[in-house]
Amino acid sequence: MPGTFFGVEIARRGLSAHQRATQVSQNNVANAHTEGYSRQRPVLAATNPYQLPVLSQGQLGSGVEVKEVQRLRDIFLDQQLRANLAETGFWEGQESALAKVEALFTEPAQNSVNDLLAAFWNSWQELSNNPQETSARIFITQTAVNLTTRLNYLTTQLNTAQEEITGNLNFKANELNELAAQLTEINKSIAKGLVKENHALMDQRDLILDQMARLAEIKVSFTENNLVTVAVGEQTIVDGFEVYPVEREDLPAEPGGELGGLFTAREKTSDYLEKLGLFNQTLADKVNEVHQEGYALNGIPGSDFFTLTEMDNGLREISVNEEILNDPNKIAAAEVPDAPGDGRNALAIAALREKTDFAELGNNSLAGFYRQLVTDVGTAKNQATQNTAQFQLIAQQFEAQRQSLSGVLIDEELTLLMQYQYAYQASAQALKIMDDLLDTLVNRIK
């Protein structure tokens, strides 16, 4: 038979269990706004019942205990969210980089390249009508200087944007390495722990994994000891207690995440820079080719109108020939020498505007090729913006699902606290009743 103090033990267990359950809910409320915190839930279970000596009399319950404290987390949902975070980071990385590139191409606008190019062709058209007018020649040099200044500015700024992207890539790679180092420290702490699952450390670990997933597409696996291993592509960067820092050059061709987006943005920027250089080269070559076939006012053959100079950074700067800038009369407007009123060569240069079959530009015109370049930049930026918004929306949906499971709802916790409070009070009242019974048994029976 159960002993005299059997009921006291049942009440004690009720007090202890509901006190611990109350503490779990208090901890949830305290961390309601802690980033990465996962809600915990006490699992109450009946303790092993007392088997009465007479089998027909059955069993007698022995109370309750907190069997475990669960950490509410869905691993499959975490995997889905991290895959989405990698996609979101990929397009966000592109969008932020390409937004700066797009801002350079102010089309259509006053003093844009297309506007300045049209003014340049118009100045040659005007010179063909008045080849002897010095003002018309000076106007050509002015429009040419304006055009080349704008083209050189674009070239320099595109190169600067490319360098900024490279710098950002290095920064993000270092950030990935720092997170990997933090992860190994958490692995060490988990391994030293007295319990198999340290909820606080696991929350920190999952938060770091989310941050890493935004930077790159990661592959996550767990050992039997609950330690995490992380790889980017085929390269392992975290393996238990070891971290293997990555260099930007060592990352896979498509690492995903922000790093992948920045890689893609840099490749696109490099392509834009190359196309702008091709535009400058073709403009200079075609104008120079026709200009060399004409004659200046002094009867000498035309020279190069544009010059291309290689700069220290490897880029080529387009400019107007210094001799022509100093003496606009050296502009070769005539087709034959000693014909001041001949403007046919100037007209031939103006006609380059209408030519649409430049093989160097993919059988396109100069203006058409540049417009296509601007369109490519705008299209890439718009695609990045649209995809960023799309994947951010999906991420919000995944996060809402995760919060519905792992997030702390204050109202729900307050309800649970009241339930645990009433259960604790009831156990205390049961203990008081047992105390009265024992008092009667010990002190009042004579």
Return the H-helix or E-strand segment holding 297: none
Indicate if the pLDDT at residue 16 is higher than 60: yes
Residues 422, 197: Cα–Cα separation, whole Å: 30
pLDDT at res. 57: 63
pLDDT band at 56 (very low <50, low <70, confident <90, very high): low
Share of residues in the chain with pLDDT > 70 (%): 95
Tens of pLDDT, residue by residue over 189-229, are 988 876 667 899 999 999 999 999 999 999 999 888 889 99
Please give the pLDDT value at position 196.
65
For residues 120-125, give the mean pLDDT: 94
Question: 336: buried, middle or exposed (CB in 10 Å: 19+, 13-18, 0-12)?
Answer: exposed
Phi-psi map region of 58: left, alpha, beta (phi>0 left; psi -120 to 50 alpha) = left
pLDDT the model gives residue 37: 93
pLDDT value, residue 356 = 85
Of 171-185, 239-253, 254-268, 311-325, least confident by mean pLDDT is 239-253
Question: What is the CA 198 to chain-centroid distance, rounded?
Answer: 31
Task: Please state, in angstroms and rounded to a whole number, the distance separating the CA atoms of residues 376 and 288.
Answer: 28
Please indicate whether residue 59 or residue 167 has the higher confidence score (pLDDT): 167
Mean pLDDT value across residues 259-280: 94
Give the pLDDT of residue 299. Answer: 87
Reported confidence tier of residue 106, pLDDT bands at 50, 70, 90: confident
Residues of 405-414 as b/e, b for ≥16 C-beta within 10 angstroms?
ebebeeeebe
Contact predicate 149/120, CB 8 Å: no
Q: Is pLDDT at 55 greater than 60 in this prediction?
A: no
Decide if 261 contacts 91 (C-beta within 8 A): yes
Nearest Cα to Cα of residue 7 among 60, 59, 66: 60
Residues 257, 262, 265, 266, CA torsion sign: negative
Q: Which of 43, 276, 35 is nearest to 154 (CA)?
A: 276
Confidence of residue 387 (pLDDT cuts 50, 70, 90): very high
Which own/partner pairs from 231-235 qualify as long-range (CB within 8 Å, at least 24 positions apart)? 232/176
**Distance separating alpha carbons of residues 262 and 392, to the nearest angstrom:** 18
In sequence order, which residues have a C-beta less than 8 Å from that of residue 280 and are 6 or more positions away?
Answer: 151, 155, 308, 316, 318
155/165 Cα distance (integer angstroms):
15
Mean pLDDT (whole number) for 257-264: 92
Per-residue DSSP letters for 220-231? EEE-TTS-EEEE
Question: In this prediction, what percent of the chain has a pLDDT beyond 90?
Answer: 70
Cα–Cα distances (Å) from 145 to 135, 321, 337, 394, in that order, read 15, 10, 26, 50
> How far lies 317's CA from each of 130, 161, 270, 365, 404, in Å?
31, 17, 16, 21, 59
Nearest to 387 by CA among 92, 85, 101: 92
Q: DSSP readout, 369-430?
A: HHHHHHHHHHHHHHHHHHHHHHHHHHHHHHHHHHHHHHS--HHHHHHHHHHHHHHHHHHHHH
Across the range 134-143, mean pLDDT stands at 94
Is the pLDDT at 425 greater than 70, yes or no?
yes
pLDDT the model gives residue 118: 93
Q: What is the pLDDT of residue 203?
A: 93
Rounded Cα distance between 284 and 308, Å, is: 8
- Confidence bin at 446 (pLDDT 50/70/90): low
pLDDT > 90? residue 382:
yes
Question: Strand 316-320 relative to strand 306-310: parallel, antiparallel, unpaired?
Answer: antiparallel
Residue type, 175: E
Cβ atoms 357, 282 nearer than 8 A: no
CB atoms within 10 A of CB 118: 15
